[in-house]
């Protein structure tokens, strides 16, 4: 497992210098997309290494996640298509865009 420490978003501590907030995006074979809440990582490469470790878990394992919106879920590793890693600011901007588009459709 990855040796890089992470800092969950609810931490009161600021990120150390040079660290970034990242979001893991789990995509299932059925096309479901789950964005996790932001976590602090030293660099995106470390978070991507963690995503690779998760993809290589035994197929019968499950992953517990807290979503970007604050909900919870469990994903079976055998159902994963891939895991993407994004800077949290990119996902936040997409969510804001989707929200504006949804409000404009009403």
Q: How many Cβ atoms sit within 10 Å of the Cβ of residue 9?
A: 15
Above pLDDT 70, what percent of the chain? 88
Q: Which residues pair with 28 in a beta bridge?
A: 80
pLDDT, one tens digit per residue, over 48-58 is: 999 999 999 99
pLDDT, one tens digit per residue, over 11-24 is: 567 888 999 999 99
pLDDT at 23: 95
pLDDT above 80 (res 1): no
CB 2 within 8 A of CB 49: yes
Q: How far apart are CA 68 and CA 25, in angstroms?
A: 10
């Amino acid at each position: 497992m990855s040796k890089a420490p992470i800092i969950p978003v609810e931490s009161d501590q600021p990120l150390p210098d040079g660290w970034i907030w990242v979001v893991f995006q789990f995509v299932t074979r059925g096309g479901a997309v789950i964005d996790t809440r932001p976590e602090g990582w030293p660099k995106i490469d470390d978070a991507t290494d963690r995503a690779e470790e998760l993809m290589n878990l035994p197929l019968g394992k499950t992953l517990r996640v807290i979503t970007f919106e604050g909900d919870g879920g469990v994903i079976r590793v055998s159902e994963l298509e891939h895991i993407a890693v994004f800077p949290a600011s990119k996902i936040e901007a997409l969510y804001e865009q989707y929200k504006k588009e949804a409000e404009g459709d009403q």
